[in-house]
Amino acid sequence: MILVTGATGSIGRQLVRCLREQPVPFKALVRDEDKGRALGCDFSVADFDDPGSVVAAMTGVDRLFLNAGGAGPAAGEQPMVRQQKTVIDAARDAGVSQIVKVSVSGARQGGPLAQGAHWEIEQYLKQSGVGWSVLQPTGYMQNFLTGIGSLIRDGKLIDPYAGAAVSYIDCYDIAACAAALLTRDDRSGETFVLTGPEALTHTVIAGQLSTTLGLPLQPAAVSPEHLAATLKTQGLPAAFADDIATLAREVAAGSMATTTSDVRNLTGRAPRTFGQFAAASRDALRAAIISIEIR
């Protein structure tokens, strides 16, 4: 039995769809019963902040997809670390044989935003005694739906990366890689860096979105410092905004410009292009073009 945590998120929903197509038993872990029913699969209700509910959800589980949990906005506030360690402990005690964890590209000790938190969880997982695989995806294409890949209200795509390219990946491909690892036994103990098939600048992305949506979008260069200052005026904690600026400077230096073959190696096919993602998400992208405004 496979347990899918974060089952109502961008990756989890795709993973549920992938597993439905395979002859493997699985269930979703959700906090909200109504959302669990909407998934159309078996599910358990639990909360990462309630260890007892997590332990109960592990009954009969052999393999675990570990995702979700909150990353705190300020330094020292990373509930995700505590939450995912709770899940790892429950899985170990229940006799789970394999955990596939979603981490992040560039995870490292002391890294900005979630990079440091994911690094700490990775180390804990590797020392838990449970079989493990780690997925380290780059930026999600779905960020352009949620507002993280933000668009200015005057129709310009924010580019805080000084024109550097980013190898964005579709969450569909992350889920497909997770499904491959959860249903096979030969890739335990490995870390996979997941990217899209190409690294694109925001100038190219703005052009592709313009073509797909029929809107005249243009890139707008924004310095990391300007972006951080704007976020602070909108109420985000200073430490969090400064970490965003640090990450933007790293991306501008090329930290997410490399592509890998890990998606193809795990799934047997090439990852989706940004153009394919945009075409499949046309209506949702149109609705997302009203996110934060940089003044």
Can you give the chain as a three-state secondary structure string? CEEECCCCCHHHHHHHHHHHCCCCCEEEEECCHHHHHHHCCCEEECCCCCHHHHHHHCCCCCEEEECCCCCCCCCCCCHHHHHHHHHHHHHHHCCCCEEEEECCCCCCCCCCCHHHHHHHHHHHHHCCCCEEEEEEECCECCHHHHCCCCEECCCEEEECCCCCCECCECHHHHHHHHHHHHCCCCCCCEEEEECCCCCECHHHHHHHHHHHHCCCCEEEECCHHHHHHHHHHCCCCHHHHHHHHHHHHHHHCCCCCCCCCHHHHHHCCCCCCHHHHHHHCHHHHHHHCCCCCCC
Residue 86 structure tokens: 């709770």
- pTM for the model stands at 0.92
pLDDT given at position 47: 94
Mean pLDDT by 10-residue block, N- to C-terminus, for the chain (295 residues)?
95 96 94 92 94 96 88 61 96 97 95 91 97 96 75 74 95 97 88 98 92 86 89 86 90 95 97 96 79 48
pLDDT given at position 75: 46
Domains of the chain (ranges, CATH numbers): 2-137 (3.40.50.720), 139-169+195-257+272-295 (3.90.25.10)
pLDDT given at position 292: 46
